[in-house]
Structure 1
């Protein structure tokens, strides 16, 4: 029966009758015949052996109990802010109203500092990308600036944080909110594809952060962030309009028809909640050893540890934000650079075409960074000139607005085998249909649910967490005045953005 109970750890939940049947099957397959006791005896035996295993209860709880270590629990101590940080991502139990009226859940990615229990950064996205995990690193080392509408009580100057002393070291804290700036030294993560991606690893290496993956299927290795995400659900999510509950049996009816927040509004509410409530709420894991009944808040603990650990600001420039973007290695051909049937080209690539990059480990390919939320441009690292070259999409004028790769992939599915121009037109038409008001002649009667989700996700991530770096300076654009008599000026007609440019008048 112990073997039968152990077999249910990773399986679906079943009844006691199934466990008893499985026990008899194991006895029948043995070498020696064993007489089975009565049904009532087996039920009593199951009650004793299955205590604490959740063998017939929730499958999620049963897997969590089975993954716990058999020995005593241990904890890696952290005596300084940023010495040990944990990161994780989970769906937030709140519906948001995306563009085009789509109501859908979003994913929450957050980091927590073990020494102070401070939430260093939290980002909401329809689907978490590697760029979002890298954006968390940038937000953690960057002060949170006061936003319009926030009360003055949220300023760092009015909190328990030593604002005057920190301001003398970091001028960025002049208008900062009461959230500590923590530079991670070691980050513990699970084996999610976002956190073990090459981009996130490269971002950690660039900022000098040690990445420590946890054991597979062992959430106890990062129990602090797991509990923190649960606390966000109980202390924040359930008070937000559109709360769905943790499971389907806890979900209400017709939530999609009720008032829902948009993604930027919910992100602003979450940031304000972290500063207002979480950072000032006494935490059970922050107790004074001399007075165990005294609990500190994350801000109070940070101010205490700052006296012995100090503070070193880490300002990020435009080049640093480019370094945090996803990277790939490709050749620069005569036509430029092609990524997923999109061609990027510019005059500054002329001396680099068909040339060796100088990186022998990558077989002479060039390092290219791209933003999955804006495919209008890419950045090429020129190691010879120690600079970044901004290269724009060749057909950017056909679309005119930035959009993410999800819309491009959907357009490729609708135009199989189509040219780059045809796919660009299909992507532009998809976005145009999304914002076409009622009564438009070109508005279709019905659109598929997938088209609506792709469009909503595209516009939900228009406000990207990573700002646009400064563009690389190009050649002199000044036009010298021609000598001699000026030619006759012929005025152009009015431009119609909806007209077909290839149709003759």
Structure 2
């Protein structure tokens, strides 16, 4: 039970209460049984006892300290061995025998606790090891307080600040100036030093805060700017500053449809539109988190509409029909999926491809106008689907669908004619290849590739 001031009230403690001294006999829930110095016993509520004006814990033994066994495992083997060796010496000074001595072993004369005092035994150990008496006595004291951990070389566990001995006010000023560099053009460390000095002198006065040498100033700035790209790419610096401050938590789902992530991107493949103009196709996909299945994919010219996103939801909840020219191995009857049971549920499964029908419970979207439109939201409400919006500029909230786009570009698009790739001209523009696909042709080819990949994965 915790008493006022952070002390712990335990049976056996003496407290000052009601003008006298009382000993705590027992604790039961919120009640405290007290025995006065004269032998009279009473029971009071702990809240009443601790709220008394004259209450104080007058006599209590210190709480036992747990030896940090886990920290010993983090030390190098040589450090642990040295601590264990010192333990043998300290125990021999205290008891006359080293730990683990056989029964009947006689203590050496210089360590005999009957004929030698503690100081004499400690001096004998100091002479044996070639150290000072103070060293041995210090080891005894630390072993009594901390156990084996007290015998560890403290230089190995000493914590050091990355900022060294720099003044805390100077460190705060450096951090502030580095934060201010996020949205400005990349400069040099000398510019940061000048701004830090001016900031410190304006806030505390000239000469009040001690300033380090220029080389130490450089080391301090390097230590505080690690990983921030303060003196590197401005784009990378701003992207890192926009990352969420909380710990990154991976997305988990235990069953199909529990969470489905939806997003759109431009494919690196040129297509011919109905008007004869060439452009890149816009791909919208839905990925199930639990099974990593691409539930549906829709290709449209640049500028996907809200109705296209709604169509994606509709295609997710119906079987994918086989199309002329597709291999028979893509049929659901040829896969490991329970075709007979599914056929009894929906007759359309007879001519369906081997794509699972996954009805989503929740879809994760970003702030794109297509997904936050009334048309898409109403479609989700009609199907009983919850909508979860990702945080702004936080792609990790839907990392699975983001990674899937990269896989499609790598494993599918780069093997097609019309692939634009990453080639750039001197002006920084993409080298556009000749378009040979229409949107329907590329859509059918993509669906066949996705089904083949799903079938191969399920049969492996």
TM-score (norm 1): 0.49
The offset of 1:169, in angstroms, is 0.9
21 and 192 in structure 1: CA distance in 2 versus 1, 3 angstrom threshold: same
Matches within 5 A, 1:443-454: none
Given candidates 438, 442, 452, the residue that maps to 1:276 is: 452
245 and 172 in structure 1: CA distance in 2 versus 1, 3 angstrom threshold: same
Matched, 1:21 2:196: no
Match for residue 192 of structure 1? 368
The offset of 1:57, in angstroms, is 5.3
Matched, 1:77 2:252: yes
Residues in 2 aligned to 1:231 and 1:250: alpha-carbon distance in whole angstroms:
28
**What's the CA shift string for 1:433-492, capped at 9, x where partnerless?**
xxxxxxxxxxxxxxxxxxxxxxxxxxxxxxxxxxxxxxxxxxxxxxxxxxxxxxxxxxxx
The offset of 1:224, in angstroms, is 1.4
Match for residue 293 of structure 2? 118
Match for residue 306 of structure 2? 130
The offset of 1:90, in angstroms, is 1.7
Alpha-carbon RMSD across the aligned residues, in angstroms, is 3.2
Aligned residues: 281
The offset of 1:99, in angstroms, is 3.8
Match for residue 457 of structure 1? none
155 and 94 in structure 1: CA distance in 2 versus 1, 3 angstrom threshold: same
Residues in 1 aligned to 2:266 and 2:175: alpha-carbon distance in whole angstroms:
35
199 and 99 in structure 1: CA distance in 2 versus 1, 3 angstrom threshold: closer
Residues in 2 aligned to 1:246 and 1:52: alpha-carbon distance in whole angstroms:
28
153 and 38 in structure 1: CA distance in 2 versus 1, 3 angstrom threshold: farther
Match for residue 209 of structure 1? 385
Given candidates 315, 322, 336, the residue that maps to 1:160 is: 336
Q: Do the aligned residues in 1 keep the contact of 2:270 with 2:434 (CA within 8 Å)? A: no
Match for residue 147 of structure 1? 323
78 and 48 in structure 1: CA distance in 2 versus 1, 3 angstrom threshold: same
Partner SS for 1:109: strand
Residues in 2 aligned to 1:59 and 1:242: alpha-carbon distance in whole angstroms:
33
Residues in 2 aligned to 1:102 and 1:42: alpha-carbon distance in whole angstroms:
59
Residues in 2 aligned to 1:103 and 1:52: alpha-carbon distance in whole angstroms:
42
Residues in 1 aligned to 2:350 and 2:358: alpha-carbon distance in whole angstroms:
17
Match for residue 102 of structure 1? 277
45 and 154 in structure 1: CA distance in 2 versus 1, 3 angstrom threshold: farther
Q: Do the aligned residues in 2 keep the contact of 1:103 with 1:256 (CA within 8 Å)? A: no
Q: Do the aligned residues in 1 keep the contact of 2:193 with 2:217 (CA within 8 Å)? A: no
- Which is higher, the Rg of structure 1 or of structure 2? 2
Residues in 2 aligned to 1:51 and 1:184: alpha-carbon distance in whole angstroms:
42
Match for residue 173 of structure 1? 349
**What's the CA shift string for 1:351-371, capped at 9, x where partnerless?**
xxxxxxxxxxxxxxxxxxxxx
Q: Do the aligned residues in 1 keep the contact of 2:272 with 2:279 (CA within 8 Å)? A: yes
Matched, 1:229 2:399: no
TM-score (norm 2): 0.54
The offset of 1:161, in angstroms, is 1.6
**What's the CA shift string for 1:101-135, capped at 9, x where partnerless?**
42222221111111111111111212111111101
Query: Which ranges of structure 2 fall in alignment gaps of 5 or more residues?
Result: 1-173
Match for residue 86 of structure 1? 261
Higher relative contact order (CA 8 A, sep 6+): 1
The offset of 1:237, in angstroms, is 2.2
Q: Do the aligned residues in 1 keep the contact of 2:261 with 2:398 (CA within 8 Å)? A: yes
**What's the CA shift string for 1:167-193, capped at 9, x where partnerless?**
111111111111111111111111111
Residues in 2 aligned to 1:112 and 1:45: alpha-carbon distance in whole angstroms:
46
**What's the CA shift string for 1:49-88, capped at 9, x where partnerless?**
4433344556665455334444543245322211111111
Partner SS for 1:31: helix
Partner SS for 2:286: strand
Q: Do the aligned residues in 2 keep the contact of 1:68 with 1:220 (CA within 8 Å)? A: no
